[in-house]
Chains A and B, each alone.
Chain A
Amino acid sequence: DGGITQSPKYLFRKEGQNVTLSCEQNLNHDAMYWYRQDPGQGLRLIYYSQIVNDFQKGDIAEGYSVSREKKESFPLTVTSAQKNPTAFYLCASSISQAVTEAFFGQGTRLTVV
């Protein structure tokens, strides 16, 4: 089945540690996105990538980093510079640079203690 997979579903880390969230898609989509969702708030765009080896900052990129070495993979690293990393993180992909509907993963809930 085609889809977008995020792992793990739940992640716990100690404050000050970097952590990497995985996102893989087998939909052959060019564009991939990372969003952050906090309780009672909408989605805020962290980073997005329209093509391999290229990505752009979204609205809240500080404290995060990404890579896009392969078309199907777009991992997100939450660094120790991110002040409030505890949140629900959503990865998405869409078919091309044209803005079409996005397909979402199931999300990763990160808790930093």
Chain B
Amino acid sequence: GDSVTQMEGPVTLSEEAFLTINCTYTATGYPSLFWYVQYPGEGLQLLLKATKADDKGSNKGFEATYRKETTSFHLEKGSVQVSDSAVYFCALGDQGAQKLVFGQGTRLTINP
């Protein structure tokens, strides 16, 4: 079945550093791709999405580009803030099974 692999965490950075969280996927067809963020003790919130190859999703300074040739959807931000500390999940929409498939999550901590 379809699957998502994220870089292992935890990731610790200093404020204003550049962030990359890697995400690759395995899927049949052309899934939609998503990044979700989870703050402590809360549910997940959609951060950004892309529905077809070469689409770039962006929100709150975060960006990710749907790369079909490398089956990747890496999350980037040019200058992180302490408030970006959270767990980030990459996900894809499995068209065949009609469900979302999540990566294992990457815990990000930003130090002042």
State the A residues within 8 Å of B (CB). 6, 31, 33, 35, 41-43, 45, 48, 50, 58, 90, 92, 94, 97-107, 109
| Contact yes or no, A101 B49, CB < 8 A | yes
Inter-chain contacts of A109 with B (CB < 8 A): 41
Contact in complex: B43, A90 (CB < 8 Å): yes
A108 to nearest B CB, angstroms?
A: 10
Chain A residue nearest to B9 (CB atoms) is A40
B-chain residues with CB within 8 Å of residue A35 when the two chains form the complex: 102
**Interface hub of A33, A41, A100 (most chain B Cβ within 10 A):** A100
Closest Cβ of chain A to B66, distance in Å, is 14
Main secondary structure of the interface of B (DSSP, over half): strand
Residues of chain B touching chain A, judged by Cβ–Cβ distance below 8 Å, are 31-32, 34, 36, 41-46, 49, 89, 93-95, 98-100, 102-105
B residues in contact with A90, CB < 8 Å: 43-44
* Chain B hits for A97, CB < 8 A: 98
Tell me whether B31 and A41 are in contact (CB under 8 A).
no
A111 CB to nearest B CB, Å? 14
Q: Which residue of B lies closest to A91 (CB)?
A: B43
Beta-carbon contact of A99 and B99 below 8 Å: yes
A100 touches B32 (CB 8 A): yes
Our pick among A92, A94, A102, A106 for the contact of B42 (Cβ within 8 Å) is A106
Q: B100 contacts A105, CB within 8 Å? A: no
- B105–A104 CB distance below 8 A: no
> Provided the pairs A33-B99, A42-B104, A42-B105 are in contact, do residues A101 and B34 lie with their beta carbons within 8 angstroms?
yes
Q: Tell me if B45 and A99 are in contact (CB < 8 A).
A: no
Do the beta carbons of A43 and B49 come within 8 Å of each other? Answer: no
A43 B31 Cβ-Cβ under 8 A = no
Closest partner residue, chain A, to B104 (CB atom): A42
**Contact between B98 and A50 (Cβ–Cβ < 8 Å)?**
yes
Chain A positions within 8 Å of B100 at CB level: 33, 92, 94, 99, 102
